[in-house]
Structure 1
Amino acid sequence: MQIHDLRSISWRDTRSRHLLWIPFLSACVEATPSPPAACPAGEEHFRGRCVSPAARYEPEERIDHDNVVAFGEPLTRLSLPEPPRSGFRIIAPPRTLAPGEEALFCLSWPFPAVEHTTVYAARLYTTAGLHHSNVIAKPVDPDLGPNPYPGCHPGADDPFKDLPEIIPDVLFASSTQVVGDETLVFPPGMGFALDTSREISTNIHLLNPSPEPAVVEVAYDFFTMPLAERAEELVPFVMNINDFLVPPRTTRSVGATCSTFGGNIVSLMPHTHRYADAFDVDVVREGGEARIYAGGAFDLEGDIQVYDPPIALGDSDSIRYACRFRNTSDHDLTFGFGDDEMCTLFGYMYPLEKQFAAFSARDGEPCLSLGLGAFR
């Protein structure tokens, strides 16, 4: 190799060498990919393209075909998109409510056949009139057999009835009185597992506050991904205060501090009714505390919060949550349906062995945390 003395290169030589580099540099610039353009509102970059997060793992071609389970008359008020190409849809029978009527009942569906059994996203579609619903899956009753779809055997929609022997799968829990749709999408690589030998049921609460009759229509979509895409398997957790009292024309906070068993929180959803004025959640650690959720007064918007990255809990950490109720009525507010209230915190977490359920028998009494993960 010949070594040049740089001091001997003339200005003309330097310029000629620069000119030789120009085509090479141009080729490099053309080969370097430009940064992705911003995605439209409501979409995300995933594997080089902009997609709706709920369609993140949707295949180009449909793989689940006979994947809609519907009962009752066809829907006429909801305009639904096509069902998930990987996943399934369940549709509730439409129900007419008289002015001011309230209804609380159970609905059930069998699982359709699906290719993949990890749910990474779920969506509720509803007209006005759905107060709330909790979609769960439990084993077929060995004595009674399958539910009389869309009816239910007694206790089919009760997620706590057989704990800890039977831990239900929670497919979706909706915010209070949303109208239109509400979507839960976990971060990439996360989802919960379906056991399709079980059957689906939901405790559904309808309320028509209007002066006119109302037809309520409800449907749910569940989007699934291949098992190979799942890095973390999620499980539900719940915290609840089973009884409390807020006297008429007063404002009072109801809450509890409950032990956890560690793990990582991926999502939170508070559940209250129309008298809620605030809902706050803190992680309490040995060295202090940190606010992780601050909800305002009740409205008709969705309240689901997803954390990416998840919130890491130490084995000795606790969660403190508080519901502030402004009772503008002339009656006592207690735990219940109708014109009463609830103070419940629900979410998803991982790993499975850290799953828990926590309850206070009454506001102000100690919170009991049950490590469900130990029974899996």
Structure 2
Amino acid sequence: MRRDRSVTLFAGPFLWQKIGMPAWRGIPFFVLFLLGCEGADDGGGAGGSAPEKPVGTKPRQGPPAFAVGGFSVQVPSITIQPGEELFPCFIAPLERTGPSRVVGGGTVTVGKGMHHGNITSRPKTGEGFRPCPDDGGLAGEAGDVLAGGAVLFGSTTQVEGQEWRTFPDGMGFPIGDDSEIVLRLHLLNTSQEPIDVAPKYEWFTIDEAQVTHLLGPLIWRYASFEIPPNAEATVTTDCTLGTAEPMHIVDMMPHMHKLGTAFKASFIGGDLDGQMFLDSPGYNPDGLITSFDPAVVIQPGDGFQFSCTWKNTFDKTILEGVGDNEMCMMFGYAWPYESALSAVAAPGGGCAMLPVPKPQGWE
């Protein structure tokens, strides 16, 4: 079954406001929008035997196969007072060991108090470990990647302990030469005592001769929603793939806050039309990163649907944002790099999709 879409093309790096969507910190949306509008359902489907539905599992809890080096960074300890919310940002040298520029996996180790961290690389701007200058919204993560950087790591909301993001054998994402690491952290102390937070990140590079698929990062986001007081709410959108090659998703991680009860994603079109490939609670500090091997395959002209569900226990309306507010996002990786499309939707706005440029030196 296929759904017809009218497609409008927008070019330019920062077109968020053109479709009425605020740009929240930590969202790398970049250069191209393919805006698909809902159309009629004309039925039908491809012949032949139906493919098996992909099954998600927890990623390997350890370094990737074919590891030949890597890099790491230790964030200095930060004290958060009870009820305090902080957004520290640091720049660290990317001091890579070994010959490879392909990252096959990474891990973060952290105690209580880290809501999440968005970690990117970008071409070098200075020396040593130092605080970030004020880079304001879109000039942050998006600017890093547009400048020739990469998305290095995103962690589960409120995760504690060690979390791994290791890709299937022979897969990894590229990083540029002469780069630095940018660590944008969101810290939140919901306890009654001060907390010291000091996350450590470590990445593992893999033998480039063993690389079968180069991965590109992607983010799916539903923006500008409202959740009424003391109510349940679900937002849903359909997105159509406009690439020349299929998108093979091998890694997915929903990002919602404590009111989140479900993040779901399913196929649109093809033999698996309507079948779900991700059914996640949306919020679980024990870890939500899901690995797919074989991959979730979205064919050109087909698409996917994703949704977020919340239960608002507050006597106030909840919006998209930080603090008590909520988010509806999914961070992931897919191949080929050019088919790893990010997506954003909003009430009445359709689904906009866009690719991510390759890091410096990989163009």
TMscore range, shorter length? 0.7 to 0.9
Q: 1:101 to 1:373 in 2, by over 3 A?
A: closer
Deviation at 1:114, TM superposition (A): 2.1
1:129 maps to 2:113: yes
What displacement does 1:98 show? 0.7
CA shift, 1:226, in A, is 1.4
1:93 matched to which residue of 2?
Answer: 76
CA distance in structure 2 between the aligned counterparts of 1:274 and 1:352, rounded to whole angstroms: 32
Within the candidate set 321, 336, 341, 2:321 is matched to 336
Which of 217, 221, 232 is the aligned partner of 1:240?
221
Aligned to 2:353: 369
Matched, 1:226 2:207: yes
Q: Is the 8 A contact 2:67 2:207 kept in 1?
A: no
Structure 2 CA distance for aligned equivalents of residues 214 and 344 of structure 1: 27
> CA 1:184–1:209 in 2, change beyond 3 Å: closer, same or farther?
same
Tell me if structure 1 keeps the 8 A contact 2:59–2:164: no
Quick one: which amino acid aligns to residue 90 of structure 2? L
Instruction: Decide which structure has the larger Cα Rg and report it.
Output: 1
Alpha-carbon RMSD: 2.4
In the alignment, is the contact (CA less than 8 A) between 1:355 and 1:373 conserved in 2? no
Match status 1:106 vs 2:94: no
2:302 maps to what in 1? 317
Counterpart position of 2:261: 277
Stretches of structure 2 lacking an aligned partner (at least 5 in a row): 1-57
> What is the Cα deviation at residue 139 of structure 1?
2.5
Per the normalisation by structure 2, the TM-score is 0.76
Distance in 1 (CA, whole Å) between partners of 2:308 and 2:140 is: 23
Deviations 1:289-322 (A, max 9, x none): 2211001263211101100111122111212111
The answer (yes or no) to whether the contact 1:176–1:272 under 8 Å persists in 2 is yes
Kept in 2, the 8 Å contact 1:256–1:364? The answer is: no
Name the SS of the counterpart of 1:363 in structure 2: coil
The one of 197, 208, 211 aligned to 1:216 = 197
Kept in 1, the 8 Å contact 2:91–2:181? The answer is yes
Q: Which digits, 9 at most, give the CA deviation of each residue in 1:47-73, with x for residues without a partner?
A: xxxxx64153346xxxxxxxxxxxxxx
* Equivalent-residue separation in structure 1 for 2:89 and 2:265 (angstroms): 30
Question: Is 1:131–1:178's contact at 8 Å kept on the other side of the alignment?
Answer: yes
Report the alpha carbon displacement of residue 92 of structure 1 after superposing the two structures with TM.
Answer: 0.7
Select the residue among 56, 71, 74 that pairs with 2:65: 56
Distance 1:43 1:283, change over 3 A: closer
Distance 1:314 1:251, change over 3 A: same
Q: Retained in 2: the 8 A contact 1:100–1:210? A: yes
User: What is the rounded CA distance, in whole Å, between the counterparts of 1:250 and 1:293 in structure 2?
Assistant: 24
Give distance in 1, aligned partners of 2:65 and 2:354.
34
Which TM-score applies when normalising by structure 1? 0.73
Q: Size of the alignment, in residue pairs?
A: 296
1:228 aligns to what SS in structure 2?
A: helix
The structure showing larger relative contact order (alpha-carbon pairs under 8 Å, at least 6 residues apart) is: 2
If each structure's helix is expressed as a fraction of its own residues, which one has the higher value?
1
Q: Structure 2: how far apart are the matches of 1:371 and 1:58?
A: 28
Equivalent-residue separation in structure 2 for 1:177 and 1:95 (angstroms): 16
Structure 1, 174-183 or 224-233: larger mean CA deviation: 224-233
Range that drifts further, 193-202 or 323-332: 193-202
Structure 1 residue 128 displacement after superposition: 0.4
Change (3 A) 1:100 1:233: same
Structure 1 residues 297 and 223, CA gap change in structure 2 (3 angstroms): closer
Q: Distance in 1 between matches of 2:351 and 2:59?
A: 40
Shift of the 302–147 alpha-carbon distance from structure 1 to 2, 3 Å rule, reads farther
Matched, 1:149 2:129: yes
**Of residues 185, 202, 206 in structure 1, which corresponds to 2:166?**
185
CA deviation map 1:88-113 (0-9, x unaligned): 21111110011111101212111104
How far, CA to CA, are the matches of 2:127 and 2:341 in structure 1?
28
2:151 partner SS: strand
Corresponding residue for residue 197 of structure 1 = 178
In 2, Cα distance between equivalents of 1:100 and 1:289: 42
Residues 374 and 170 of structure 1: CA distance in aligned 2, closer, same or farther (over 3 Å): closer
Letter of the 1:107 counterpart: F
After superposition, what is the alpha-carbon deviation per residue over 1:325-365, rounded to whole angstroms, capped at 9, x for unaligned? 100011211110111000001100011221222112x3342
SS in 2 for 1:121: strand
* Long gaps (5+) in structure 1: 1-41, 45-51, 60-85
1:356 aligns with 2:338: no
> 1:57 is aligned with what amino acid?
F
For 2:80 and 2:355, locate their aligned partners in 1 and report how far apart those are by CA, in whole Å. Answer: 40
Moved over 4 A (4+): 373-376
Tell me how far apart the structure 2 counterparts of residues 317 and 55 of structure 1 sit (CA, whole Å). 32
Q: Aligned residue for 1:327?
A: 312
CA spacing shift, 1:297–1:348, aligned 2, 3 Å: closer
On the 8 A contact 1:147/1:153 being kept in 2, the answer is: no
Distance of 1:87 and 1:255 partners within structure 2: 39
The answer to whether the 8 Å contact 1:134/1:204 transfers is: yes
